[in-house]
């Protein structure tokens, strides 16, 4: 890029930051009018459509037959969907610019298919991280008042946005942070726990499964969980039901658990958490649709989430089918944060057929963990009996001093699963579960939590088993 082109790009980025900051300030203060928000959507959609058709080889072809002038923020159906298959096939041709024009390069993990490029430019980073910053300011003020906690970041950094996003947000707030991902060969659980204790780390940012793995590791290495300073978990990366959160709080006495971020490498930060437990859509950055996951037809407020990104950065996606099943609502969770609420109930591909029912991951997790306390991990094993009927066994790792009698826990789970599926459920308490349960959503929630013996293992299950050793607690 020539010096003059670089100067022009930097000037454009600075103009965008000023514009976005002004709109975001009014949006979060509740003073952005409905007319102004509609104007924002209209102007940003037009800018992004111009941007992708000018600069993305894929979108120039993909949108060639669409009447772009007829598209409005309220009706995007004249535009074709963008799918994960498109991203894997087209790779760098999806980008609206070259990687050299980005601020940083990431790619997807490639656990179930080719890794796809996900670079982020200055506009992308600024707009997406602003939503996270506002969420953290709200969450920390609610929990800690005027002081800032020490934050432990437990997630990957190489070629992955986790470390950079939360480092930037911690810097914006002026909070101390420490990168202590236990799965890193340079850290491990023993060192992570030592640093949590020595640095008085009060906030842990991690995947939900890691909340339980960390507690299991603390017991393994001789810590009393109640003596550790952790008082807040900000979780992301997989479903996190209210039942799961209540269980984590029983394992970590006094700690609160908040779904803090819903997003992806491709789509950035889609929603952020609040003290009320809800996830609020980053409404300034996306137009959202909900469709039937099987047909693609418009749905009401429950179905597969489809996103059109409103920031004209390096990789804006148009009508991108996320593969995530969600419920949207206009309800207020009492926190005063703007944005519709989104509940993520699991991947469309992770729906589970058991007995007479087809359950989302969230529905199955809720049935297993409702009113269960002191659970350090679980796995649902599905098989068939001699008559060919589905049978279920739930394996639990329980702290019985917290959970109470295992027979009572079993009875409750069996009743809930029978009500949901018509299937009778068995039960076992095990001090060491299948290590694949510690992989969380690194591959998929289903691969980590469900052992389905009714057929051949799929690619996701084989991948999860191949990497499970990396999540060993005793490393």
111-125, 191-205, 432-446: which has the minimum mean pLDDT? 432-446
**Residue 362: which pLDDT band, with cuts at 50, 70 and 90?**
confident
Least confident of 119-123, 177-181, 197-201, 353-357: 353-357
pLDDT tens-place string over residues 121-159: 999 999 999 999 999 999 999 999 999 999 999 998 888
Q: Is the pLDDT of residue 432 over 90?
A: no
Residue 475 has pLDDT above 60, yes or no: no
- Residues 261, 271: Cα–Cα separation, whole Å: 6
Q: With 60 as the cut, is the pLDDT of residue 112 above it? A: yes
Q: Give the Å distances, CA to CA, from 299 to 122, 271, 293, 302, 347.
A: 34, 20, 9, 7, 16
With bands split at pLDDT 50, 70 and 90, how would you rate the model's confidence at 391? very high
Residues 103-121: what's their mean pLDDT?
A: 89
The pLDDT mean for the chain works out to 92
Instruction: Give the pLDDT mean for 54-58.
Output: 98
| Cβ neighbours of 367 (radius 10 Å) | 25
Poorest-confidence range of 143-147, 325-329, 429-433? 429-433
- Asked if pLDDT for residue 405 goes beyond 80, the answer is yes
Mean pLDDT of 41-56: 97
At residue 1 the predicted structure's pLDDT band, cuts being 50, 70 and 90, is low
* 352-471: CATH topology: GMP Synthetase; Chain A, domain 3 (3.30.300)
Question: 1-347 is classed in which CATH architecture?
Answer: 3-Layer(aba) Sandwich (3.40)
- Residue 472 reports pLDDT greater than 80: no
pTM of the model: 0.93
Closest alpha carbon to 423 in 475, 323, 471, 352: 352
Question: Highest mean pLDDT: which of 66-70, 155-159, 222-226?
Answer: 222-226
**261-302 pLDDT, tens per residue?**
999 999 999 999 999 999 999 999 999 999 999 899 998 878
More confident call, 1 vs 216: 216
Instruction: Out of 68-82, 233-247, 404-418, 437-451, pick the least confident.
Output: 437-451
Domains 1-347 and 352-471 share a fold: no
pLDDT score, position 287 = 98
Q: Looking at 100-114, 174-188, 205-219, 245-259, which range is the least confident one?
A: 100-114
Long-range contacts of 165-169 (CB under 8 A, 24+ apart): 165/128, 165/129, 165/132, 165/269, 166/132, 166/205, 168/125, 168/129, 169/129, 169/132, 169/133, 169/136
Q: Where are the domains of the chain?
A: 1-347, 352-471
Please state, for a pLDDT cut of 70, what percent of the chain lies above it: 97
What are the tens digits of pLDDT across the range 311-324? 999 999 999 999 99
**pLDDT category of residue 428 using cuts at 50, 70 and 90:** very high
- pLDDT score of 115 more than 70: yes
What is the predicted pLDDT for the residue at 471?
Answer: 67
Percent with pLDDT over 90 in the chain: 76
Lowest mean pLDDT among 27-31, 169-173, 201-205, 471-475: 471-475
Over residues 173-182, the mean pLDDT reads 96
pLDDT of residue 439: 74
Contact between 275 and 258 (Cβ < 8 Å): yes
- Comparing 145 with 464, the larger pLDDT belongs to 145
The torsion defined by the Cα of 270, 275, 277 and 278, in degrees rounded to 10, comes to -40
- For residue 331, the model assigns a pLDDT of 67
3-state SS, one letter per residue, for 328-381: EECCCCCCCCCCCEEEEEEEHHHCEEECCEEECHHHHHHHHHCCCCCEEEEEEE
| Dist CA 191 CA 185 (whole Å) | 11
Res. 440 pLDDT band, cuts 50 70 90: low
Burial (CB < 10 A; 0-12, 13-18, 19+), residue 148, is middle
Mean pLDDT (whole number) for 444-448: 81
Helices 122-144 and 162-173 pack at an angle, to 10 degrees, of 60
Phi-psi region of 277 (alpha: psi -120 to 50; beta: other; left: phi over 0): left
Lowest-pLDDT range, 28-42, 112-126, 234-248, 446-460?
446-460
Band of pLDDT at residue 240, cut at 50, 70 and 90: confident
C-beta of residue 307 within 8 angstroms of C-beta of residue 326? no
């Amino acid at each position: 890029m020539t010096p003059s082109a670089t100067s022009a790009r930097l000037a454009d980025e600075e103009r965008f930051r000023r514009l976005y900051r002004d709109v975001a300030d009014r949006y979060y203060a509740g003073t952005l009018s409905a007319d102004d928000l509609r104007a924002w959507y209209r102007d940003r959609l037009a800018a992004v459509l111009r941007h992708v058709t000018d600069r993305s080889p894929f979108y120039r072809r993909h949108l060639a037959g669409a009447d772009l002038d007829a598209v409005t923020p309220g009706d995007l159906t004249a535009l074709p969907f963008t799918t994960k298959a498109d991203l894997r096939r087209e790779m760098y041709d999806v980008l609206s610019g070259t990687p050299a024009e980005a601020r940083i390069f990431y790619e997807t993990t490639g656990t179930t298919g080719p890794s796809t490029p996900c670079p982020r430019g200055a506009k992308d980073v600024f707009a997406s991280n602003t939503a996270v910053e506002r969420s953290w300011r709200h969450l920390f003020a609610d929990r800690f008042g005027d002081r800032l906690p020490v934050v432990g970041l437990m997630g990957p950094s190489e070629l992955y946005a986790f470390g950079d996003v939360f480092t930037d947000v911690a810097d914006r707030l002026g909070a101390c942070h420490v990168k202590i991902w236990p799965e890193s060969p340079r850290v491990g659980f023993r060192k992570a726990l030592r640093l949590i204790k020595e640095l008085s780390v009060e906030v842990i940012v991690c995947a939900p499964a890691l909340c339980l793995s960390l507690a299991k590791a603390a017991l393994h290495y001789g810590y009393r969980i109640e003596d550790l300073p952790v008082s807040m978990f900000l979780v992301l990366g997989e479903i996190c039901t209210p039942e799961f959160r209540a269980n984590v709080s029983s394992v970590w006495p006094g700690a609160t658990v908040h779904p803090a971020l819903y997003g992806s490498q491709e789509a950035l930060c889609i929603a952020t958490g609040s003290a009320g437990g809800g996830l609020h859509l980053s409404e300034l950055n996306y137009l959202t649709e909900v469709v039937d996951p099987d047909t693609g037809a418009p749905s009401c407020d429950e179905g597969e989430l489809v996103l059109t990104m409103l920031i004209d950065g390096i990789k804006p996606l148009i009508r991108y089918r996320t593969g995530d099943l969600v419920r949207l609502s206009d309800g207020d969770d009492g926190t005063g944060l703007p944005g519709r609420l989104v509940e993520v109930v699991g991947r469309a591909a992770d729906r589970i057929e058991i007995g007479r029912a087809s359950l989302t991951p969230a529905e199955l997790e809720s049935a297993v963990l409702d009113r269960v306390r002191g659970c350090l991990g679980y796995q649902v094993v599905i098989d068939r009996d001699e008559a060919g009927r589905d049978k279920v066994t739930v394996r639990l790792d329980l702290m019985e001093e917290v959970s109470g009698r295992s027979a009572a826990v079993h009875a409750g789970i069996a009743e809930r699963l029978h009500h949901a599926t018509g299937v009778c459920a068995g039960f076992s308490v095990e001090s060491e579960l299948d290590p694949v349960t510690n992989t969380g959503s690194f591959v998929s929630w289903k691969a980590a939590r469900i052992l389905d013996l009714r057929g051949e293992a799929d690619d996701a299950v084989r991948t999860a088993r191949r990497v499970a050793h990396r999540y060993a607690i005793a490393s």
